[in-house]
Amino acid sequence: MSFRSQRARARAFFGFRALFRRLAIGLLLWPIVAVAQPSVGDIIAVNVDQAKLVRIPAGVATLVVGNPLIADVTLQSGGIIVVTGKGYGATNFVAMDRAGEILVDRVIQVEGPTDQLVTIYRGVERETYSCMPVCQRRVTLGDGSTFFKSAIEQAGSLSAQAASSAVAAGR
């Protein structure tokens, strides 16, 4: 047997050992990776300014939200929670029973609106319009403060007028 064929055999053998070693390490680490990464079923996707109903196990006594600026979680009777998207990003919530045992630990992903939006930039100021079917102002996180305040004031004024009309109609 020549030196070259012995070297080729050794290279093939050590290559197989390295492959086997990588496979064994991968099999040993697989449970850790599987626990660290939430599966698609563990993620609750909700749009900003919208709510989603999610069923959870009975016996929940405490709900903890990682970042309440991103999402709000409210417990309802019958093992249902209402998840409301408040800001863009991801957070989580943990549901515990009276003994402090964790029943649920889920990720909440809050995404942008799905309607047809038009965004207008005027320098650093931003305005957002919802164009379904006619373009109208839409208050969206990230809009300029002048546009945001003006739209909120108009919505508040309209709401107050509707409330006073309802009171007048009830007399």
Total structural domains within the chain: 3
Per-residue model confidence (pLDDT) at position 130: 85
Pair 67, 98 in one domain: yes
Kindly report the pTM of this predicted structure. 0.58
What gap in Å lies between CA 146 and CA 124, rounded to an integer? 12
Domain containing 65 — which CATH number?
2.60.40.1080
Domain coverage including residue 146 = 117-170
Q: Mean pLDDT score of the chain, rounded to an integer?
A: 81
DSSP-assigned beta bridge partners for residue 82 = 53, 74
Q: What is the pLDDT of residues 109-153, one digit of tens each?
A: 999 877 788 888 989 899 988 888 888 888 887 888 888 888 888
What gap in Å lies between CA 26 and CA 11, rounded to an integer? 22
Contact 46, 111 (CB under 8 A): yes
Pair 55, 83 in one domain: yes
Per-residue model confidence (pLDDT) at position 71: 94
| Cα four-point dihedral sign 111, 149, 154, 131 | negative
pLDDT band at 35 (very low <50, low <70, confident <90, very high): very low
Q: What is the pLDDT of residues 37-71, one digit of tens each?
A: 444 458 999 998 899 999 999 889 999 999 999 99
